[in-house]
Amino acid sequence: MNIAKIIETLPEKSAEERARMRDNADRLLTTGTAPQQAAAQQLKDVLDTLEAQERDAVRHMPVAERVVQAFTKRPPSETEEKLLRVLLDNPGSTSSALTQAIGWRAQSWHLHFGTMCQNREADLWPAEKSGLEDKGFFSGILAEFDPNGATFTMKPEVVGALAQLGIHAKARA
């Protein structure tokens, strides 16, 4: 394993890829050989430094600018654009209603929307913690959640930023 080459690729890695790399490093720290443990620790240290720098770089940017940067740096896939548009077209809807509007089943909108947000978290802002497990509520990065009706609405600043990227709600009659 050439740790230097792996470290060079870190800035382009998604949050999901980085999490997988971090998990592998944690595993190697407990089960690896001495050289593997050293490389794993080096990777974790560089990841920590890089992610702190990324968070610091966007900390003082306006929200709309962060959103534009995050979706320019990592353009939305066709599916991600559908996730964004369905929420823009159906503000105040439940996850089930948004899922049905896309033509999917169960509450898969919520899962995919949350993953999309998580993958851009470093370029946006940290997810608020939710639940007893203190896990991040990633959908809440871009959307407001109303617990009374279990409904989602895109945050106003995000609506404007997405419009700058050409992602709009359908015109209403």
Q: Quick: pLDDT tens for 3-50.
A: 999 999 998 887 778 889 999 999 999 999 999 999 999 999 999 999
Both 51 and 77 in one domain: the answer is no
Alpha helices in 76-123, H assignment, sequence order? 78-89, 95-102, 108-119
Does residue 69 share a domain with residue 39? no
Q: What is the pLDDT of residues 92-121, one digit of tens each?
A: 999 999 999 999 988 799 999 999 998 888
Q: Are residues 69 and 145 in the same domain?
A: yes
Give the whole-angstrom CA distance, residue 165 versus residue 173: 23
Q: Which residue has the tokens 């990841």?
A: 47
- The string of DSSP letters for 110-128 reads HHHHHHHHHHTGGGS-PPE
Q: Which domain holds residue 132?
A: 63-164
What was the pLDDT predicted at 120?
A: 87
Tokens of 173: 């009659």
**Does residue 109 fall inside a structural domain?**
yes
In a domain? residue 170: no
Domain closes at, from 58, 82, 104? 58
Whether residue 70 sits in one domain with residue 36:
no
Q: How far is CA 138 from CA 38, 146, 171, in A?
A: 32, 15, 28
Is the torsion defined by CA of 14, 20, 25, 26 positive or negative?
positive
12 and 72 together in one domain: no
User: Does 47 reside within a domain?
Assistant: yes
Rounded to two decimals, the pTM is: 0.72
Structure tokens that stand for 112 in this block: 């995919």
